[in-house]
Amino acid sequence: MSNDDHNQSEDTYNKGGFYAFLFSMGFSLLFFVYIAFVHPGVDLKEIPESEMQAEQTLAEGGEAEAEPAKKVDVSNVKEPWLTSEDLVAHGATVYKTNCAICHGDKGLGDGMAGKGLNPPPRNLVEGGWKNGGSRIALYETLQKGLEGTSMAAFGHLPKVDRWALVHWIQSVSKDVTPDEDSKVAAFAKGAE
């Protein structure tokens, strides 16, 4: 085989690869232009959170709630350490988002993530609190967590959310320790 034959076969091979490369690049460029400027986009048809929760409850074998959780504006609450229906309702919403995964939907300590924890999550209905069932003790537990357990600190939540959780927990618990509003107010003003 002469040098001319060898160079000619290399040129043919290289031209084919070059054409394939140009076609791939051109196609990719046209595809991206189409996606970016022509295609209308994908409609995700987002499902409202209340419907998703009802579907998840049904999928887990439970019954769907009759009405969605009450939306409460707590931005103007001046003394969140004092119990009110609105704070309890807000606490229920915060609980479902942050706590139900371990403590269960009703606070019975039977949440999906809690099944693998040792010690298991507290049954909030029965109580038997490690640090007490007063508003101050529950708030401190939420803020700092419990050492030696899987109870994480929730100090990252806004104060009003932590107080709302305290009120919700006390609303479902059989083990509530009463405390004086004045002592709770003094604590709350110094608490983070």
> What mean pLDDT do residues 143-149 have?
90
Domain range list for the chain: 1-41, 67-190
Cβ(154)–Cβ(91) below 8 Å? no
Choose which CATH entry (3.30.1330.50, 3.30.460.20, 3.50.50.60, 1.10.760.10) describes domain 67-190. Answer: 1.10.760.10
- The full length of the chain comes to 192
Cβ(109)–Cβ(123) below 8 Å? yes
At 66, the pLDDT band (50, 70, 90 cuts) reads very low
Return contacts of 22-25, CB within 8 angstroms, 24+ apart.
none
> What mean pLDDT do residues 131-141 have?
91
> What mean pLDDT do residues 27-53 have?
79
